[in-house]
Each structure stands twice: as structure tokens, then as C-alpha cells.
Structure 1
Amino acid sequence: MSSRGAGRAAAAAVLLVASSWLAIGAGADPSGAANTAAEYLVDGDDDGVAGSRPFAGRDRYDTALLLARRYAAVRGGLGSVRTAIVVSGESPPDAAAVAGLAGVENAPVLLVRPGGLHRAAAEFLEDHDVKQIFVVGGPAAVPAEVVAQLAGLVSQPQVTRLAGEDRYATAAAVASHIGGRATWCTSNDSTAVLINGDERSAIDAAAIGPLTYALGLPTVLTRTSRLPEATARFLREHDIDHAVVVGGADAVAESVITQLGHAGVPRTTRLEGSGAAQTAARIADLMHGDCAFASGRRASLVALVGREAAMDGLVAAPLLGEGLGSGRALPVLVAGDSLPADTATWLAATPVEVDRLKTHLRIVAIGGSGAVSSEAMAAAVKAATTGGPFTATIAARAGERSFTITTSDALNVELPDAQGKAHDLLYINDVPVHLAPVGGLDVLPGEPCLEPRRFKINLRHPLEAGDVIELRPTEVRFGARDDRRPFSPARLVVPEPAVDTAAPKVRIVAPAGSESLLAVISDDSDLDEIIVNPRQVRVITRRGTAVVVAEDTPEVLPLHEAAVFALRLTAPTGYTRPAAGGSGSGSELVAPGGAYRLEPGDRMLLRHGVAVDAAGNRSRAGSVNVTAPQHSLRAVSISVAAARTRDEASTDAVSGDADDDLSGAQALLAGTLRITARDSGDAAGALGNTWEVRTSRLSTHDPAAEQIGIDIAVSSRDKIISIRFASGTPNFGQLADALNADAGFARHFEADATGGICAGRAQTVDLAHPDMDGATRLAGGITVAEVTVRFNNLVRGYRSESQNLPCPRAETGVGQEAVADAEAGARELVEHVLSGIVTDFTTLAAAEGAGDILLFEAPVPYDQMKFRYTTLDPSRGSLLGVSRYDVVEIPAGAVCGYGADDPATGEDESLSVSSRLRPQRR
């Protein structure tokens, strides 16, 4: 292939995705028809509506001029076309031979009348300052007067006639100018296209013309059963190894194939069908198969050429070879007054999706309705269309300033454009939706960039029950890649707010010896709005003492997923209670208004409505007995879990965003390829910060190769992701897919090619970018572990051995003060736990000095202590990787209970015994 042809092939491998408001995306399905289809039209009368065929000239000469102008525009406008080809409009065989020449010379094809050069054609040549003109055909086809007119243009072009004694010799002369360097799609053999020189076979030449242009192939002609000498001479002189024969045996007989061998052509490929339409469909399949490097995958454009208007298709070869600016050669299908069955079958087999986006196949007619009838075009559009309209589900609640829409298919949203289209579609109470001034339409969190289906509509005013939300059909059509489908209507009447009937649940923690109760309340509604009624708690003592639950505002304590209230107990005047320390320690008179200390055998009666939620639901009645504490307090289990969301305090310290989900380590390469560590494995959490991505190219790498080759290796020991480009130049979508398909990579990471840009998948990887030829470290991995230590009885406090702090007095009870008193000892307990899980853990002070964060949920009395630990340090990132060999040792005396010390023993029964526990992952 020539350098020009190689460049075209490389460019054709790049897939360009145009994004508009709605784009469809999902896994590609190779079967079925295109999602939607429409005729390719332009705005021909400047009324803002595309309603005209772009290449419907008054005659073939005018059509050729329209095609040439568009070709020049695609190539870059004025000054971009320096060469042109001129052919007689009365000689289809001559026009059949020029597609390859146009590809090599980057030239459009113009037709001339026998009577001379039309002024519009001359103006085109002069406007573009064309310096080289090839006249194809002898004086009988293009008279000398026309050649003189061309040479006399103001631009003073060099005019070269390529001609022979007949049509076969003329084609051979054009082919000789091209030479024998071009190769076919599937081989490196020098190749030429062979077509019957009869005018009836011109439609076959039109069908293969765009591919011939893209590959720069010479085209030669033959008689039905005899190979002309001029053709044979070209094949021999240019060492053609391979002939692509277009047409069946009725056009090119088997005897010609034999004669090709005698002319030194050892290999032939026949492209044939039962008729012109089937032959064109066969070539179209080839362009999306073995020749896809020249025309790309299934294109979103296809051309229709009239069976009786083959000349229009022949002169369209340069523009269709350029793909109308899409960078990929377009297939040509045959039509006419009606649509052939073979053409309809090909259109019906086009894919629903390409590169994860729903297709919209645009069908461009070459010529006016006399060449391709309106009926044939309508049949083509119908054959290529199977996609139904979008459907949508609306969800809304009264009192909220937003509602959601879930669509039946994945859509891609360009938000600025979406705001206006939302007004076209959405109505509330028969009035176009009144969007919030900022962020009126959002993609809901968690929806993928290319494939969101759930959207949030933000309003200026809250919805009310009975409001009617409608999605009304309009003439507007939506979709990236020009997927044009309407929405089916949808309607929702905003319902009355759901009635909350779930009663709050109340658990009373009442340790013997405490002077207050702990009410632990859970509910489905907002815990901040829970109201506690202390009067609904009645204390029945075993001695008949009249105890009052204080009605002042209960003290609120921290606890995960519950509201915790401390309720003080007040004894009557003259109440005598046992002294602190248990039986045998005497008694003491309580001053008026003093606290009552709970005793074993006391009973709490919970009346209906101890807790009332925001909906007015009242907790149920119940009772709780105060029992003597168990002896031998000990820790019974330790569990470790990944926190799914970061605490506000820890998040502020790490990222400043309290709403973000727990994030893994990431690397963003070239602003588009994002590699993210998974939540489990050797790169989870902060461990991912030790990994790096190394990218390079093999020394044998050929960036222009058709085959994309990427070598991927992942080493957990060395913490390396190795990406080496072996062949070809991928786009970011192909690179991401290759990474995710590698088992070693997918075990620890996932890749996406959005980089914040939905069109990122289609962007070509710049192999010279520093990120694609070097090392990039992953960063941002955060380990957030939630650790729960459970005990066999209620805990009164935590003892600090290092600070020589004793256990709090039993009668201290519960409250913020008790929690604060317990913190110093609790920190030492946390150190014992972390030392058993994290290798080489030293002290909390050292870890916090390095940026780690510890958050407590440790109210007392309670039967468990919970804490959340956040770190970015990989050396402590293994916190979640609990091993079956890990052992946590909790020394004796670390935890204080409510049991009384028995002086008769050598141990302090109010303190915990030592424990050795294996942490469990949950």
C-alpha cells in the first residue's frame, strides 16, 4: 500500500463519536437492524429545516459538480483540491476506471458534455486553483476543444490526457499511471480490480468505487469471455499478483480467469451476486469485514445509487471513499424506482449498536428522485429501522423539589442542551416544567457516563399531592450519533405522602448501681426528631421506693444508627441506699432530690409512648428487669468491616467531602483512562497507594498496524500494572476493555475511559504522551474500617493503665461526662486491638500524627465499643485484610464492669479478665 493509503487506513481506525443530548449505550449486539434510520438531507433553502437531497442535481453533470464541491469541503475547503479528473458524461466505462486514480491523487471527478466545458465546472476548477487535471478518454470522448478550454483556465493547470485506442486501453492507461503498488485488504500482493467493460456493468464499478478509492487500486476492464490485450499487458508489466473480479460468470466468464493466469496473475478473488444489488451487498459486507481497516466498522452512513443511474455512483466514488467526512469509506447499495430485496436484506442486518452506542443509520441518495425514487428511499429507511420509542417511568413525592425519570434505554446527557429539551417534553399541571435555575437536570449518582438511565429533574417549587407530571411526545428526536427516537407519553399524579406507621423501638439499658437509665431508640424516620417522654418510664423497686424519672431534657449520647438518651433517676426524701461497693458496705442517707441508684430486682415499666417519632408514632409498652452483673467480665468477639461511607469528620480531613463513597486508589492517565482499585484484594483501600502503572511500547511496535495488540501483566508482589503496546494504536475504550478483560487486572482493579468526558472512549491514545511511556503512581486509596468489640456484660468504663486512671465510680451512671472519662482508657483498648491486626503498629498518637483518624462510638454503659479508623498510609492499609493468624490480646483490667469486688478473692471482679481473640471479617 502507498504511504497515502496507509495513512488513510490508520485514520479510518479512529472512531469519532459525536455527542448530543441523548446518546444510547450498552453492549453491542451484532444482530438485528439499526436502531433508527433516516434519509440524509440538508437545508437546501436556508429555512432551518433539513429537507433536501444534497446531491440531487438537474442532471448527471450537475450532480457531479455537487459531489465535487462537497468533496472539496470535506478535504478542507478552498485550496484543498489541487488535482481534478475530467471524464465524458457519455462514457461510463471511462468513469469506471478512475476511482483508484482519484484516491491516489486526492481528486474529485467532473463530467463534461460533448459540446464543451460547462461554466460552473470551469469556475470550480478556478476557484480551487487546480494545478493538475487528468482527462480520461480519447478525443472521441473528450474533444480537443475541451482540453484546450481546460488548459486555458486562469489557474493555468497542467492537463494530462490518459487514453487508449478503446475503453480497455484507456482503462489500462489510467491503471498504468497508478502503477502496481496497491495491495488488497487481506494480503500484501499487488492488486488490480477487474470489471466488465460493458456499460451494463458500470453499476458494479460504482459499488466497489469507494473501496477502490480508499485503497488506491487500479481498475482495468475486460470483455465477458476474453481478456483484452491492453489489460493483459498492464497486468504483466506491473507484476499484478492478485485480481479482484467484480461480477458473476455472466459478466466475467471463467475463461477470463484462466487468461488472467496466463497474464501472470496467480490469484483471483471474485465478488459476485445473483444481480447488481446482491453484488453491492457482498462488497458492503466486505467493507465491514476483511476491509474494515479502510472503511471502519459498521458505519452510520450508507449510499444508495440508482441501477439505471450508475454514472452518478461512479463520480461519487471520491466523496464516498472519504466517507462524507466521517473518515471511513461508505458502502454503496443499489436501488432505483423500487428497493431490491437484497438491498433491503442488507439494511435489515445492520447492528442495533456500535461501540456501545445505539446506531442511527443515515441513508444518502446519490442523485435526485429520478435516480433513487422516494418510494425506494422510504422502503430503505423502513428496512433499516427496528428501534421503538423511548419509554419512561416517573417517580415523585409530595413536598420535594425534584422528581426522577427512569428511561427504558440508556441515554447520554449533554446537560446544557438538555435543559431546553426538558421544557419541550415535561409538563406539570399542563405548564412546561419550571426548572431550578442551576442544575435543573442531573444524572443520578452511580449512573455510568455512557449509559445513564436515571435522571433527576430539579424544580423551583416543591411538588404537591395531586400535581400531574407528564412527559408529552413532540417532534423533537434525540440521541448521540444521530439516534433519532421519540419518547412515548408518560404520566404521574403525585400521590399523597406515604403514612409512616412504624413505631420507634426502645431498649432500656439499666445496670445495677447506676443512677440513670440509657434509652437506646431506633426508628425508620429521622432520629434527630425523636421525642422522649421520661414520664412514660416507671421504676418499680424491689423495696417499694418511689422513684421519679427526671423530666428535664434528656442528655443525648453518640451511638451508631440509634438515638441514645440518658434519663436521671431521683429518689424521694429520706431514701437510704446501699453504699457504693455492694453489700456489706453499709448504707447512706440520700439528700432531698438526690439520685436513686438501681439495685438488682428493680423493674422498669415502659408505658406506651416513651419515644415518639416525627410522624407521631409511639413506642410500644414493655418492661426491663435490673439484674446483678455477671462476674468475669470479658471481651467475647472482635469484628472488622469496611465502612461503606466515610464519616464527616474523617472525610473532611481526607477529602473535604462528607458525601463521597469510600474510594479506592486511582490513577488517571492522559486525562482519560482511569484505573481504580477494587474494594477487596491486594489493592483495596490505602494498600492501593503502593501500586503504580508502567506503560511502554515494544521495540517492534507498529502504530499503523491493523491489529491492536496490548500486553498486560499484573504483579501483586511488586505492586505493578504493566501495559505494553505491541501493535496498532488503540482508542481509550479499546485500552480500557483490554485491561478489564485481563483476569489479573480485573481481580484488583477496574478501568474506564471517561476521564470525566463521555466521549473519552473514542479518543485515540497518544502513545507519545508521558503517561503512556512511563510510570504513574496510584493515589487516594483510603482504608476506613469499622471495628466492633463486644463484651459479655455492660461496660462501666475503660481503664487507662498508662495514665494510672482508675475505673469511674459505679454510681457515675451515664452521660457525656462518663463518656469523656472513658475515652483515655478506650484509646488504650483501641491500641491493643490495632496492634493485633496491623503489622508493626506502634501508638495511636504516632498514627494520628501521620494523618490517621480515630472516631469513637463508645457510650457507657453498653455491651460493645465501636470505633472507625481512617488511614491513607499503606503500612496500615491492611486493616481490612484480617488474617486467620491475627490475634488480639486484651490484658486483664482494661475494662471496668458493674460487678462488685469480692474481698475474699485475689482478683478484682469489677475488672475484665484477659482475652485472646481472633478478629473476624464481616
Structure 2
Amino acid sequence: MTAGDELSDATAEYITANDIEHVQIVGGTGAVSADVASALTTLGVDTVARVEGDSAAAVSVALAGLANDGCGDDLGLVSSDRVALVRGNPDGVVAAAVLASSLAGGYLVTPLVVGDTLPAWVRGCLAATPRNIGADRLNLGVVAVGGTAAVSEATMEAAPDAASSTDALTVRIGAATDTSRDGAINADDPVRPDTATAGTATAISATASPATGPVLSLCFSDAVTATDNVDRVRDVVEVNGIAAVVVNAAGNAGSVCDQSRIDVTLGQTLSAGDVISVDGSSIKLGTSADQRSFGSATATVTAPARDRVRPTISIVGIAGAATARSTFEIAFGDNVALAGTALLANDEVRIVGGPGGTSPAPAVSVAHEPGASAAVATVSRPLRPGDRLIVDPGAVEDGSGNQSAGTSGSAIRAQASPRINQVLMSDLKHTAHATWTVPTGSVAGVGGTGAGITIRAKGDGDAAGAAGNGWSMVFDRASTYSADKPLDIGVSVDPKGKRVTVRFNNGPATATLGDLIAALNGDDKFAALFSAGSPAALWRLPTMRPVLCWAWSRLATWLRASATPVAPSSPSR
């Protein structure tokens, strides 16, 4: 510290007693005059330098740059992932001891001067922060010194928005099974009540055998490793505000996308209305040195809506065919599942003879396997047009106890050309949706083998089910692309042309799959139709035939020299 127009005695004595060789003046001559600089030379200081700007904010930004780039070796450990917002003197002076010791584990933390709003100089400084430091992602921490009178809420909210670092981790809680019936396991799957016997809490480790209790999925916004992190996450899971009994926690091996989920097995049952919560403010998760807290999340255990839909029965019989037929085909359907027991018995099915039929009606026998969705009713004579098969009410029951209504179907005369007599439809938005896989090796700078990310049509979007057929995913690079500029991935969606284009405008060759996932899911139009993330649960989908955007021979050569991938297009179904 010094007076503006003269070197204070205490400062001069300190410089002399400690044989200071270099002095850095902070501020222009309006703050620290040229006379002070001359006095330093007179004391025997070898070099005197000045950092200045047109405002206090500009000076603080210049000082931060100096600390991180120019004299970090002289200063010692300077934090590269944390900055402090201060009002200026005296707040900056009072905070100096904290910024130099306890706030960042002994690392120096550079202060940035702000006002009621975020100055342009500080905004530019934050925007210039890198997304990666070496192989690790930068997750910039911003701390305000003082209350809202010193650093306003608006300023504090604007700072992380302006920064160009990786977003903080977030977490959502879902079931570890596809309870939403959309073909994927993720945080959109509601946690259901569990009636199984709870397991014991004797073996708590990432490799312990799962107990019989319910399993939760903690779905993170970015990759978390499967060893240290799962041990930490056990300590922050609660049920109704009380520490949960956790008997097992396991991360997913495989690609970076798989590693964004940790499955937690509980040793207790869950009832409807129970509140599951996690609070990550006290621990940090991540990959390697990329460690981040992840805030909190809650999920309420909900019972599924009661199934009130009756099973359906359809009956088809053909009479007068070239080869005489004496059977009715019976098919059953349900919105969830049929009960796994025998559905039809002989005493629940009878036939009424058609015109010209005999009296009494011919006998009928039913062949049906327990739990099967079809049965055959065999009549004791060839079918005649008008023969009507009747199935009594309650003959078929689903897993929820709903029983079928009484149903009948008449044998129709064989047609020269087939005709549609009845159509049994399933859900209009099917549980299997169009899916594309972008291999890990398709993104330059990302190692590994196997599937990288999976892009899946959403079950509640306009590309669900068969509507997702014919879409193509095209990845290219802008002609103005620069690897020296901050990462910029543009996403555009053309519903009419059924095309999604992902363009790498700028960015380093070390762009990660996590960056690509964030860009895709961050686009509103894309997010309304698709989701990008883990390829888990793809085994549920039928084998599909990918159609390439263009010849692989050209693609292989192009990818070796480019940071941009080209993915297979939408499959035919």
C-alpha cells in the first residue's frame, strides 16, 4: 500500500529491509504517481513495472492476466479455476488474506473489480477463460466478496453466464428400469414403489452383489468415473431426509457417455410419496482432476396410474376356402401385459351355427398355451359363412385384473383377393424409436473404441415411432473453421427435410463427446425431437440397417484430417 503521490514510510521500510528487487505498480499515474515510481528506483529496486487501465475493472483484468501468464512462477500457485468478484477498495484489501490462502487451498485467487453490473472488461475476461486446461475440463468457480450491497445478485448471476468454462455438474434421479416405456433408461423414468424384501447393509462397495431392494439411477450431466465417485455418492443419498441404506453403488463402464450414470441399490423398500434426494454440495465428482460439486436433486416415488383398460379380443374365421377350414383364429391384446395364466377354457367359448347350419351347434375345442397372445378354436366341422364364435365376458384377464368384455366374430366367405376385416393397433407412438450411433473414433481428439454417443428419437416427440424413419444426421465443418478459437458447435434441424446438421464452426481438435452431447441437447428444436447420450438399453431395439450419408471411403480420408464426424443416417424400420 502507498499514498498516491508519495511512497509511504512503512512500504519503503519493508522494501529496503527485504531487499525487494522487483515492484509491480497496480494502477495508472492517477492512482500511483510517477514520483512514487521514481522513489522506488532511489531505494535500489532493480525493475519497476506498471499495470494500468481506463478503469478499476480494467486494471483488475490486466492484473489477473499478469498473475496467470506473466509472473505466475514468481507468485507461486495461482488458481486457474477460480476468480473473486470485489467491489474494489476497501473490499479488495480486506479480502486479500483470504484470496491468498484459504479460499482455494493455498492457491492465489485473482480479484476482478465489479460494480452494480458486470463491467465489460470483466465480462470479456471471463469469456476468454478456456474450456480445457490440458486434458482436464475447466470448471470455473466464481466467489463474491461481500454481500449484495457490494456485489449485486445481478452481477453475480451474470458472471458465470459470461464465462466460457464447462457448466457445473447437475444430477437427476430416475428408476434403473424403463418405467416410462420409452425404450430408454434415464432420469425420465419415474421411481416406483417397491414391495420386495429389503436387503442387508453389510457389504457396501462398488463391487458388492446387488440386494433385493430398489435400484435408482443418478443421471449426471457429464461423465463421472466409476471408482472413487461411487464411494462418495453413497454418502449423500437420502430418503425422506434420512440417510438411505445403500448396499451397492455401481458406475457404468464403457464409453464416456455410459459413465454419466451411477446406479444405487437400496437396502430398504420404497413407498408411494417417499422423497429421494441427493445433495452434492459437500462432495465433488468427475473424471481425473475434473472434480465438480453437483448441487441437489429430488424425486418423489409415484405409483403408476391404475390400469383400467380391458384386454381386447379379435376373432377371424374363413369359410368356403378351396381347402376347407374348421378353425377360428383368436388374438388377445392389452395396453400393458396379459396375466401369465391360462386365458381361455372350452366352457368359455361356443359357436352358433350360421344359415343352413345344423342343430344343435357343432362342438368347439380351444387350443391355448398359458400366457400366449393367441389361441385356436377348432370346430367339429368345416366353417360355413355366418358361423359365429362367441367368447364369454371375463375369459381374458390382464395383469391388473381387468377382464375382457364378451366378444364374437363371424366366419366370412373366402375372397378372391384378401381384404382387411379387422385391425388391432398398438400404441400409436411405439416403444421402439429411430436410433443413430456416432462411433467414438468419428470425433478427432477422442480416443477409445466402440460406440460413442447415441442419438434417439423421443417417444413423446414428432419423430417418435415410425415418424422417425428417413431422418439423416449430417456432421460437417465450417469453411471458416479455426482450431485456435473457442469451441462453437452449431446445430440446425430441418423437420421438412428430416435432417439434423451439426456444424463445427470453431474449436480445438480435442473437442469431447461431452461437448457434442451438450451442443445437441442444448438446441431447443433438437431436444424436442431427440436426445443424445448413453447408448444404454439399445438392446431393446430391433436390429436396424444404417444408411450412410456418403461413401465410407471418402469419409475415412476426410476424418483423419478433420475434427468433425459424419454419422449414419436414420435407419429403415
| TM-score in terms of structure 1 length | 0.35
- Classify the secondary structure of the residue corresponding to 1:395: coil
| 1:193 partner amino acid | E
Residue-pair matches, total: 433
Structural mapping, 1:381-400, within 5 Å: 395-399=192-196
| C-alpha spacing 1:505/1:627, structure 2 compared with 1 (3 Å) | same
* 8 Å contact from structure 2 (residues 487, 511) kept in 1: no
Q: Secondary structure at the match of 1:605?
A: strand
1:666 is matched with: 438
Q: Report whether the alignment pairs 1:773 with 2:558.
A: no
SS at match of 1:342: coil
Is 1:505 the equivalent of 2:290? no
Match for residue 391 of structure 2 among 606, 612, 635:
606
Deviation of 1:722 (Å): 9.3
Q: Counterparts of 1:265-284 in structure 2 under 5 Å? A: 280-282=113-115
- Asked if residue 563 in structure 1 is aligned to residue 373 in structure 2, the reply is yes
Unaligned ranges ≥5, structure 1:
1-59, 61-87, 95-110, 118-132, 138-163, 180-190, 218-271, 300-321, 361-391, 571-595, 647-660, 757-768, 786-922
Cα pair 1:709 1:728 within 8 Å, conserved: no
* 1:727-754 Cα distance to aligned partner (Å, 9 max, x none): 88785577777789999x979x989699
Shift of 1:547: 2.0
Query: Alpha-carbon deviations, 1:765-815, whole Å to 9, x = none?
Result: xxxx98462498756657343xxxxxxxxxxxxxxxxxxxxxxxxxxxxxx
User: What does 1:244-643 correspond to in 2, within 5 Å?
Assistant: 280-282=113-115, 285-292=119-126, 341-343=149-151, 348-350=156-158, 357-358=167-168, 395-399=192-196, 401=212, 403=214, 414-416=225-227, 417-418=229-230, 420-422=232-234, 425-426=237-238, 432-436=244-248, 457-459=264-266, 463=269, 471=276, 477-478=282-283, 482-483=292-293, 485=295, 502-513=309-320, 514-523=325-334, 524-526=336-338, 529-541=341-353, 542-550=357-365, 553-554=367-368, 563-570=373-380, 596-614=381-399, 617-629=402-414, 633=418
Paired amino acid for 2:194: R
What is the match of residue 37 of structure 2?
A: 168
Structure 2 unmatched runs, 5+: 2-6, 25-32, 72-85, 93-111, 171-188, 198-211, 286-290, 458-462, 537-556
3-state SS, counterpart of residue 52 of structure 2: strand
Provide the secondary structure at the position in 1 that maps to 2:332: strand
CA RMSD of aligned residues (A): 6.8
Alpha-carbon contact 1:512-1:600 (below 8 Å) kept? yes
> Retained in 2: the 8 A contact 1:449–1:754?
yes
CA gap of 1:178–1:327, structure 2 versus 1, over 3 A, is farther
Deviation of 1:546 after TM superposition, in Å, equals: 4.2
Give per-residue Cα distances to partners, 1:699-734, cap 9 Å, x unaligned.
Answer: xx76545x76789999999x9989676688785577
What is the distance in 2 between the residues matched to 1:502 and 1:637? 19
* One-letter amino acid of the counterpart of residue 64, structure 2: P
Shift of the 399–533 alpha-carbon distance from structure 1 to 2, 3 Å rule, reads farther
- What displacement does 1:441 show? 7.3
Residues 445 and 510 in structure 2, CA contact (< 8 A), matched pair in contact too? no
Structure 1 residues 532, 213: closer, same or farther in 2, change over 3 A?
Answer: same
Q: Distance in 2 between matches of 1:737 and 1:476?
A: 23
Q: Distance in 1 between matches of 2:503 and 2:428?
A: 30
Distance 1:678 1:473 in 2: 28
Q: Is the 8 A contact 1:512 1:628 kept in 2?
A: yes
What secondary structure does 1:510 align onto? strand
Structure 1 or 2: larger helix share?
1
What do the CA deviations read for 1:98-151 (whole angstroms, capped 9, x no partner)? Answer: xxxxxxxxxxxxx9575567xxxxxxxxxxxxxxx83459xxxxxxxxxxxxxx
The Cα offsets for residues 211-250 of structure 1, whole Å up to 9 and x where unpaired, read as 4545759xxxxxxxxxxxxxxxxxxxxxxxxxxxxxxxxx
C-alpha distance in 2 between matches for 1:517 and 1:193:
93
Offset, 1:510: 2.4
Q: For residue 511 of structure 1, give the secondary structure of its aligned residue in structure 2.
A: strand
Contact 2:559/2:565, CA 8 A, preserved across alignment: no
Assess if the C-alpha contact under 8 Å between 1:508 and 1:520 holds in 2: yes
- Between 1 and 2, higher relative CO (CA 8 Å, sep ≥ 6) is seen in 1
Is the CA contact (8 Å cut-off) linking 2:339 and 2:397 kept in structure 1? no
Give secondary structure in 1 for the equivalent of 2:359: coil
- The equivalent residue for 1:884 is none
In 1, Cα distance between equivalents of 2:337 and 2:365: 26
Q: What is the CA distance between 1:522 and its match in structure 2?
A: 1.4
Q: Give the AA of the match of 2:21.
A: F
CA contact (8 A) 1:685 1:783 kept: yes
What secondary structure does 1:664 align onto?
A: strand
Partner of 1:193: 52
Counterpart in the other structure of 2:571 = 783
For residues 119 and 137 of structure 2, the distance between their equivalents in structure 1, rounded to whole angstroms, comes to: 18
In 1, the alpha carbon distance for the partners of 2:139 and 2:416 equals 83
What's 1:210 paired with? 64
Q: CA deviation at 1:289?
A: 1.9
One-letter amino acid of the structure 2 residue matched with residue 285 of structure 1: P
Question: Structure 1 counterpart of 2:346, which letter?
Answer: P
**Does the C-alpha gap of structure 1 residues 206 and 746 become closer, same or farther in structure 2, counting only changes over 3 Å?**
closer
Quick one: structure 1 residues 741 and 434, their matched pair in 2 at CA, closer, same or farther if it must change by over 3 Å? closer
SS of the residue aligned with 1:566?
strand
* 8 A Cα contact 1:277 1:334, kept in partner: yes
Residue-by-residue CA offset, 1:857-915 (whole Å, 9 max, x unaligned): xxxxxxxxxxxxxxxxxxxxxxxxxxxxxxxxxxxxxxxxxxxxxxxxxxxxxxxxxxx
Give the corresponding residue for 1:134: 21
Contact kept? 2:341, 2:370, Cα under 8 Å: no
Cα gap change, 1:394 to 1:556, in 2 (>3 Å):
closer
